[in-house]
Structure 1
Amino acid sequence: MSPPRPSEPRIAPLAAEDMDDRQRQLMEQVGLGGPTVNIFATLVRHPGLFRHWLPFGGKLLAGRLPARDRELLVLRTGWRCRSEYEWAQHVVVGRQAGLSDEEIARVAEGPDADGWDEGDRLLLVAADELHDDACITDATWAALAARYDEHQLVEVPMVVGHYHLVSFTLNSLGVPLEDGAERFPDGGA
């Protein structure tokens, strides 16, 4: 079991009234149309980095991988990194992409859980291999290559790598969950 995550923010989300003009302008680009999400209100404290990170993350969210497949990769990465904030955000996105609540809960059990079809299991294996060894094995790559085109194949490790970066940052900064956010199933990893 990993050590506990910070119980309080190490760098707190920036309140809207405390943002300067540049930060407000960057937050407008996010276009949430509702309450500020803590990840953005925290990361906007570094406006230069935030400005360059947003388009990259947005490109992966609108990439060539089917949204459901991408969300399996993201959820498994959030689970393996023990990033409850990442998990909570992508439970919502995963549902929008067509994942059932039962499938989302099963992500925590991993690729060997009963009920996965071969394609879904393969994505979870790829995420685990990247997490454990920073490389997809030849066998897994060959199976992915039979399913995806070249652009999608590039996106698989990019998605997992990006959400490692995000999970590491969320965990280390102690970004707090929003009220009512989905918690890890059964108490977490």
Structure 2
Amino acid sequence: MARLDYVRNDSEVANRIRLRRGGNLTPLDGMLLHSSPVADGWNNLLGAIRNDTSLPADIRELAVLRVAALNGAHYEWQAHEPVGRAAGLSDAHLGALHEGGDTTVLNAAQRATLEYADAMTRRVTVPDPVFDGLRTHFDDRQIVELTATVGTYNLVSRFLVALEVGAEDTAEGAGEDDGGGHWQERSA
């Protein structure tokens, strides 16, 4: 159960979030709506990360899921696993993202992404050899977008974990997960 109640409303901000998500708010959105300016900025940032970058979808989702695994953000993992699968990540790829997983199933660009996400998440500073490994697979724009993706999903995971936001939240007024990481709002 989340540490704060979820907010449901029909504000302009909530409606913009619904539009980006295809109609429904998630528990994350319901928590963010405690602060409309934060929710609005978050929506714009996540919309750009998810929809407007030049990163291959498998690379983006590999980075997101690795951050979720490293930070113990179970709800983030639940929300992004289907997206990762749709981007071509297999059971073997997903297994490689957990601590001690077999990374030999990853291609060179995916391994470079994993090493970069690890460095940014665990140490913040990125060793030169790790950064140089990205340059062989990605252009400058993609490196900026990958950096923004890893940084953004570290923010997301820390927010989710700190406030105990999760798909299991079905308390009265919170809503229900539809099984795909989408929060089905309950009528008031």
What's the offset of the Cα at 1:59? 0.8
What's the offset of the Cα at 1:130? 0.8
Stretch of structure 1 that moved more, 169-178 or 65-74: 169-178
Q: Distance in 1 between matches of 2:12 and 2:180?
A: 28
User: Are 1:110 and 1:124, in contact at CA under 8 Å, matched by a contact in 2?
Assistant: no
2:63 is matched by which residue type in structure 1? L
Q: Distance in 2 between matches of 1:12 and 1:101?
A: 35
For 1:86-97, list aligned pairs within 5 A.
Answer: 86-97=76-87
Query: Who is 1:118 aligned against?
Result: 108
What's the offset of the Cα at 1:173? 1.2
Aligned length: 171
1:1-20 Cα deviation digits (max 9, x unpaired): xxxxxxx21123224xxx25
Q: Distance in 2 between matches of 1:144 and 1:133?
A: 17
Q: Please, what TM-score do these two structures have when normalized by structure 2? A: 0.81
Asked if 1:58 corresponds to 2:47, the answer is: yes
Q: Distance in 1 between matches of 2:109 and 2:13?
A: 41
Q: Distance in 1 between matches of 2:135 and 2:100?
A: 21
Query: Who is 1:5 aligned against?
Result: none
Q: Distance in 1 between matches of 2:76 and 2:160?
A: 8
What's the offset of the Cα at 1:111? 7.0
Q: Moved runs in structure 1, 4+ residues, more than 6 A?
A: none
1:31-90 Cα deviation digits (max 9, x unpaired): 423x53211122122111111111111111121111110111110001111100111111
Q: Distance in 1 between matches of 2:25 and 2:60?
A: 24
Q: CA RMSD in A?
A: 2.1
Unpaired runs of 5+ residues, structure 1, are 1-7, 183-189
Q: Please, what TM-score do these two structures have when normalized by structure 1? A: 0.81
Aligned identity (percent) is 30
Q: Distance in 2 between matches of 1:121 and 1:160?
A: 14
